[in-house]
Amino acid sequence: MLYLAQVCKNEFLDQYQLRLLARQEGENLWIIISEEAFILLGKGNTINEKLLVIVELSPAGVIQKLEDATNWVLYLVQTYLATGVTPEFLQQEAERAEHWRQSLTLQSQDLARRSLELEARREQIQAVEESIKRDKNGHDDQK
């Protein structure tokens, strides 16, 4: 699983560790990790403190891959922030989509109601036509 982490020094153990900041939940979905979670890098690893990294962890929590997050952050800036996609913009778009969905639902319900009304009227007209035919046939038989 992929994580965004920051390198920090554990003074007590005198070694570097990763503070996990966010976890990838889907291709374009990351969840902020609210509780503090750390992964020790081991005594031999020296890496710049405060560096942001992308780390891939095995299910057992073992580091499988570690890379500088600079390119990833630049990709995010280029893809989302350079085009003006802000959280507020996304919220507005989500609200617009929800209003649109509600409007379509109401229109669909209205069409279904009208369809039922038309079907009921058609059945009434057929019943009246049949009644007229019976009355006509009954009058023709009496002559």
CA 29 to CA 90: how far, in whole Å? 14
**Do 11 and 68 fall within a single domain?**
yes
pLDDT at 76 over 90: no
Query: Are 5 and 21 contacting, i.e. CB atoms less than 8 angstroms apart?
Result: yes
- Among left, alpha and beta (phi > 0; psi -120 to 50; other), residue 61 is left
Instruction: Say if residue 29 is in the same domain as residue 51.
Output: yes
Count of domains observed in the chain: 2
Residues 6 or more apart in contact with residue 6 via CB below 8 angstroms: 18, 19, 21, 50, 51, 52, 53
The answer to whether residues 55 and 91 belong to one domain is no
Q: Are residues 10 and 48 in the same domain?
A: yes
Q: Is the pLDDT of residue 46 over 80?
A: no
Banded model confidence at residue 90, pLDDT cuts 50, 70, 90: confident
In the prediction, which pLDDT does 79 show?
80
Is the pLDDT reported for residue 140 higher than 70? no
Residue 141 has pLDDT above 70, yes or no: no
Position 127 pLDDT exceeds 80: yes
> Could you say which of 45, 61, 81 is where a domain stops?
81
- Please state, in angstroms and rounded to a whole number, the distance separating the CA atoms of residues 115 and 88: 40
State yes or no: pLDDT of 108 exceeds 70. Answer: yes
42 phi/psi in degrees, rounded to 5? 100, 160
Determine the structural domain holding residue 133 and report its residue range: 86-143
Which range is least confidently modeled, 5-9, 79-83, 90-94? 79-83
